[in-house]
Amino acid sequence: MLVQQFLAAHGDRVDRALLVSTGAPDLSASHGVGFGRPLAETNPEAAAAYAAERLAGRMGKARTWAAFRLGLFGDYAGQTEVVTSRWAAFWRACNPSFCFPLANFIMQMPQELEVRVRMWELVGADIVAYRPTSAAEINLLNEIVANLLPSFLDAYHSGQLPARRIVIDRTRFQGEVMVWANTGDQDFGPERGRWLAEAYPRARLFVFDDRSHHRLEATPHQVELMKAFFKGGLAALAP
C-alpha cells in the first residue's frame, strides 16, 4: 500500500512500478469484501476447524498467530495441524517466529507505535465490523490485527478513534505498473491482484502458482521479468 500511496502523491516522478503480493482496502471494499482474503479460499479444512474452535471459545491467540504465520509461507498442512491441535500450536510456539506472547510484547513497545497505526489504517475498518458466523467468513488477518490492537479497538468503541479506509485515485498515475499475485497467497491472491491491475490505466497482472504470501528470493523467471519490465516497460514483456 505504501507504493500505491507514493504513486498517488508523487507519480509524476515514477515511470514504472512493481506491486507484489498486495491488495487495497478501498478496492476490496468496493467489491464488498475485506482487505484480506478469507481463510476458506486457501485452506477450507482449517477454516472449518477454526470456526468450530472459535465458536466453542477454544481458539486462543497463540494458535491464531501460529496458523497465520504458517499460512504466510504456504504451509497449509502445518496450519491445519495447529488449528486442530493445541499441542501442535504449543510446540510451534517454541520457535520465536511462531510465539504470540513474544510477537505481542514486541508489537506493544512504544517504538512499534507506527506499525500499529499502519495496521489500523489498513484493517481497522474491517475488524470493527468483523463478526464471523461461518467458516467462509473466517479471516486470519482480521483475527491477528484484532489480537494485536486491543487498545485501538477500545479507543474506537469509546469514540476516540475513527476507522477510516485509505482511498486512492489510481487513474492519475500515467506510468506503467506490473502486479504480481500468488495463487495460494492467504492474504491477497489473484483476485485482489486483478482489481489492482484494473485500477491503473497502464498495468498488467502476472499470477504465479505459489502457495506463499511472499518469498525471500525471487525465482529466476521473476528476475527476468523485472529486468525486462524496468528496462523496456510492459511492451517488452511476452504476451
Specify the pLDDT at position 238: 77
- CB-based contacts of 190, cutoff 8 Å, min separation 6: 181, 182, 183, 205, 207
Set of cell numbers at residue 46: 482449517
Each of the 239 residues of the chain gets a pLDDT tens digit; together they read 889 999 999 999 999 999 999 999 999 999 999 999 999 999 999 999 999 999 998 999 999 999 999 999 889 999 999 999 888 888 888 899 899 999 999 999 999 999 999 999 999 999 999 999 999 999 999 999 999 999 999 999 999 999 999 999 999 999 999 999 999 888 998 999 999 999 999 999 999 988 777 666 788 999 999 999 999 999 998 77
Element at 104 (helix H, strand E): helix 100-107
Q: Which of 187, 150, 136, 201 is nearest to 28 (CA)?
A: 187
Three-state helix/strand/coil letters over 40-73: HHCCHHHHHHHHHHHHCCCCCHHHHHHHHHHHHC
Specify the pLDDT at position 210: 83
CA–CA gap between residue 114 and residue 101 (Å, rounded):
20
Specify the pLDDT at position 216: 64
